[in-house]
Amino acid sequence: MAIKVPIQLPQQPSRDYDITIGSLPKIVIDGKAAIVTNPKVSGLHLKRLLEAISAKELHIVTIPDGENYKTMETIEWMLDRFFDHRLDRKSTLIAFGGGVIGDMTGFAASIFQRGIDFIQVPTTLLSQVDASVGGKTGINNRFGKNLVGAFHQPRAVYIDTHWLKTLPEREFAAGVAEIIKMAVMFDAPFFEWLESHDLHDDENLKEAIARSVTLKARVVNEDEKEKGVRAVLNYGHTFAHVIENFSGYGTLLHGEAVAIGMVMANALAIEYGLFDEEEAERVRRLLERYNLPTEYRIEDADTFYEQFFLDKKSHDNQITFIVPEKIGKWHMLVDPERERVVKVLKRWQKKGEDRDQ
Amino acid sequence: MAIKVPIQLPQQPSRDYDITIGSLPKIVIDGKAAIVTNPKVSGLHLKRLLEAISAKELHIVTIPDGENYKTMETIEWMLDRFFDHRLDRKSTLIAFGGGVIGDMTGFAASIFQRGIDFIQVPTTLLSQVDASVGGKTGINNRFGKNLVGAFHQPRAVYIDTHWLKTLPEREFAAGVAEIIKMAVMFDAPFFEWLESHDLHDDENLKEAIARSVTLKARVVNEDEKEKGVRAVLNYGHTFAHVIENFSGYGTLLHGEAVAIGMVMANALAIEYGLFDEEEAERVRRLLERYNLPTEYRIEDADTFYEQFFLDKKSHDNQITFIVPEKIGKWHMLVDPERERVVKVLKRWQKKGEDRDQ
């Protein structure tokens, strides 16, 4: 069974597209095309993708795997290959890999001859639920992550759970964390459904992906250029960024840091009397069902707090935390008092110390 | 007297902006801003611009002058400076210079933190009439000119003829060539007006700029992403690109090559019985009034013809020439016979030989 989620772009109606969730269909491309992928995905899955695509000319551009190569240097190398292959304004790029491949292929597509079409074939659960909606593309530089890029919408997204068979369980769970995040923020019935359905079942997984991308599409539509409600997608992320800074990227997966971050955000919401302990416990239990981490040792709560202000998203020394009011309903906690945030953070400091004794 | 030309963008109505033609008004910027300029423009005119701008913080980023520096390397260097100055998503860039500065600042604005605002203050006549409408931004690479870039619309364009006082007469005339091009393609009354008004008079010049950008805006609106009628703006350019390739960039100014190209396109139109000798003569006379070149020596007409197909804009070995049907009315001459095009080109070959005897 294939599910189609239509993505409408009110600000650019001519760029509306579909996300198709199900076994990869035949993809027919009018002009020339280039698949951008990495050696790992290519080794495991390229043959199956090639069987699905028909194009006038099809090239394969392989870039190294990993966040470290998400640079302008790699983008320039990719563009050179496209010119070598004589791609033109009518050509199409196909992003075949996880979030890094999607971000870079989308960015390259946005600037090659002032913008050409691209198609996403995401191969990790995280990129399937997260990166396939929103049009964000970009690269890192020495000042931070995703600081250079463009908003460029794909022409189509094909989500096939087949690729996930070779995905390590930890990476699978990291994708589930983003699905749980969407349910907690926007959709109580979906959260209840998640409590009673195992996402290791393929039909359940497809339904969860469809519901998750539908929710994200609704948010992004209301706020294509990220000025308001799109910030709600940062639930758990404000904490996660600091956790990732302290742990070093690569120790925890992003989705794992987000899982911890959600638990912290929930605790902050409880501190402010906004959220209920019992509901917080349900969120924690659901995360733990997928072996996502919910514990973390904070070295020093004050230092941790300071780190919030080094993040590019905080202007004017104000900080907004996205927290749940109840499951399925978000709340923006604008500029809470430092001492109360630190008080909440200290529980992780203490917890860590307790555990060590 | 200031003239305002509203630019409407049907595909992105929230990005509508005004072109203001007249003495530079006060420009008030809410957040931080950076002026991007080159040493020449900066030395002559920066003081006057600084007097007009008020911003929360104002930085100046100076890049080397000239087409040779229109590269991704310079873009990266610019982005680094913006991060050094801690510009954020609410910051504004101000392009202060000619076409190269405008193209690069617009491109940098389009990819800095996935797109920030920019304002154009063009200081050459060519960039005032040509680069200030259309949203084209970009850089060159070893494969050609403007092959990497984005469509990114400015928030405002301020055209002040004051800057032109220091512009060499040849560069002034190169800008006039683009104005004449617009009149020949789209507006017979404007052409007649140009025949009877000297653009060295400042009020006339402002009116001509306003009429020219209004015409260009109309074309671009119909065709924001360059699939159809926008090609008409290439009148004279198909020949000009080949002339520039043979002469080496920098020998002839772009507008000068376009002037020769228009005369060649007119001759081709006459060959096909589309255009009238007398009207072609009026176009030539108007160009010559500004000392624009209309003569050129073609070494070998066949070799010249071959060069049309090396241009990125020709797909599938077909070529379309934009020619006038009459003054004020364009025509697309699709895929004319090689022998008739070469026959027309031979007149320049012969003319050159005649002159040498």
Of the candidates A234, A256, A266, A331, the residue annotated as catalytic is A234
CATH 1.10.10.60 fits B170-198+207-356, yes or no: no
Q: Which chain B positions have a beta carbon within 8 Å of A114's beta carbon?
A: 136-138, 146, 149-151
A234 is catalytic: yes
Q: Is the pLDDT reported for residue A206 higher than 70?
A: yes
pLDDT range class, residue A74, cuts 50, 70, 90? very high
Tokens of A269: 């919401």
Burial B18-57 (b: 16+ CB within 10 A, else e): ebbbbebeebebebbbbbbbbeebbeebbeebeeebebee
Residue located via tokens 């797909």? B315
Distance CA A138, CA A286 (A): 32
Q: Is the pLDDT reported for residue B158 higher than 90?
A: yes
Under DSSP, the state recorded for A67 is G
Per-residue pLDDT tens digits for A225-234: 556 788 899 9
Residue A124 Cα, gap to closest chain B Cα (Å): 24
Q: For strand B92-97 and strand B117-122, is the pairing parallel, antiparallel, or unpaired? A: parallel
Beta carbons of B114 and A315 less than 8 Å apart: no
Q: Angle between the B99-111 and A99-111 helix axes, to the nearest 10 degrees?
A: 160
Q: Tell me, what's the pLDDT at A352?
A: 47
Q: Which sequence positions of B are flagged as catalytic?
A: 114, 136, 178, 216, 226, 230, 234, 237, 241, 254
Q: Tell me, what's the pLDDT at A36?
A: 98
A289 is catalytic: no
Which segment, A252-256, A277-281, A311-315, A350-354, is predicted with the most confidence on average? A277-281
Beta carbons of A149 and B114 less than 8 Å apart: yes
CB-closest option in B88, B90, B147 to A113: B147
Q: Which A-chain residues 66-85 have CB contacts (< 8 A) with chain B?
A: 72, 76, 79-80, 83
Tokens of A264: 């912290």
Beta carbons of B149 and A79 less than 8 Å apart: no
pLDDT range class, residue B224, cuts 50, 70, 90? low
Beta carbons of B12 and A11 less than 8 Å apart: yes
Q: Which chain A positions have a beta carbon within 8 Å of B147's beta carbon?
A: 83, 112-113
Q: What are residue A35's phi and psi, to 5 degrees? A: -90, 130
pLDDT range class, residue B246, cuts 50, 70, 90? confident
Beta carbons of A136 and B114 less than 8 Å apart: yes
Q: Which A-chain residues 305-344 have CB contacts (< 8 A) with chain B?
A: 312, 315
Q: Tell me, what's the pLDDT at B352?
A: 47
A68 is catalytic: no
Q: Is the pLDDT reported for residue B9 higher than 90?
A: no
Beta carbons of A312 and B88 less than 8 Å apart: yes
What H or E segment, with its residue span, contains residue A46? helix A39-52
Q: Tell me, what's the pLDDT at A37?
A: 98
Distance CA A97, CA A332 (A): 34
Q: What is the mean pLDDT of the segment spanning A165-191?
A: 97
Beta carbons of A14 and B14 less than 8 Å apart: no
Which residue in chain A is spatially nearest to B12 when comparing CA positions? Answer: A11
Q: Which chain A positions have a beta carbon within 8 Å of B114's beta carbon?
A: 136-138, 146, 149-151
Q: Tell me, what's the pLDDT at B176?
A: 98
Per-residue pLDDT tens digits for A7-64: 988 878 888 999 999 999 999 999 999 999 999 999 999 999 999 999 999 999 999 9
Question: By three-state DSSP, how is residue B311 classified?
Answer: coil
CB-closest option in A14, A72, A312 to B11: A14
Q: What is the mean pLDDT of the segment spanning B69-78?
A: 97
Q: Tell me, what's the pLDDT at B13?
A: 81
Beta carbons of A151 and B315 less than 8 Å apart: no
Contacts of B79 (CB under 8 A, 6+ apart): A141, A148, B108, B111, B112
Cα–Cα distances in angstroms (integers) from residue B262 to residues A63, B145, B230, B237, B298, in the given order: 45, 21, 17, 8, 15
Q: Tell me, what's the pLDDT at A314?
A: 46
Residue B213 Cα, gap to closest chain A Cα (Å): 22
Question: By three-state DSSP, how is residue B34 classified?
Answer: strand
- Domain coordinates in residue numbering, chain B: 3-166, 170-198+207-356
Q: Tell me, what's the pLDDT at A224?
A: 57
A255 versus A230: the higher-pLDDT residue is A255
B326 versus B8: the higher-pLDDT residue is B326
Q: Angle between the B254-271 and B338-356 helix axes, to the nearest 10 degrees?
A: 120
Residue B291 Cα, gap to closest chain A Cα (Å): 34
Q: Which chain A positions have a beta carbon within 8 Å of B150's beta carbon?
A: 110-111, 114-115, 150
Distance CA A263, CA A181 (A): 11
B152 versus A249: the higher-pLDDT residue is B152
Fold of A169-356: Dehydroquinate synthase-like, alpha domain (1.20.1090)
Beta carbons of A148 and B113 less than 8 Å apart: yes
* Interchain CB contact of B112 with A (< 8 Å): yes
CB-closest option in A11, A114, A151 to B115: A151
Per-residue pLDDT tens digits for B272-302: 999 999 999 999 999 999 999 999 999 999 9
Residue A150 Cα, gap to closest chain B Cα (Å): 4
* Interchain CB contact of B25 with A (< 8 Å): no
Q: For strand B27-28 and strand B17-21, is the pairing parallel, antiparallel, or unpaired? A: unpaired
Residue B345 Cα, gap to closest chain A Cα (Å): 28
Q: Tell me, what's the pLDDT at B11?
A: 77
Q: Dihedral (C-alpha) B270, B275, B279, B283: value to the nearest 10 degrees?
A: -70
What percentage of chain A has pLDDT greater than the value 90?
82
Q: What is the distance between the terminal CA atoms of chain B, rounded to a whole angstrom?
A: 53
Beta carbons of A151 and B114 less than 8 Å apart: yes
A254 is catalytic: yes
Q: What is the mean pLDDT of the segment spanning A315-331?
A: 88
Beta carbons of A148 and B112 less than 8 Å apart: yes
Q: Is the pLDDT reported for residue B315 higher than 60?
A: no
Distance CA B206, CA B199 (A): 8
CB-closest option in B79, B151, B315 to A114: B151
Q: Is the pLDDT reported for residue B356 higher than 50?
A: no
What CATH number belongs to A3-166? 3.40.50.1970
What percentage of chain A has pLDDT greater than the value 70?
94
Question: By three-state DSSP, how is residue A38 classified?
Answer: coil
Which residue in chain B is spatially nearest to A136 when comparing CA positions? Answer: B114
pLDDT range class, residue A249, cuts 50, 70, 90? low
Q: Tell me, what's the pLDDT at A318?
A: 81
Beta carbons of B147 and A90 less than 8 Å apart: no
Tokens of B324: 């006038």
| Best A91, A114, A151, A317 residue to mutate vs chain B (most B CBs within 10 Å) | A114
Per-residue pLDDT tens digits for B11-57: 788 889 999 999 999 999 999 999 999 999 999 999 999 999 999 99
Tokens of B321: 């020439």
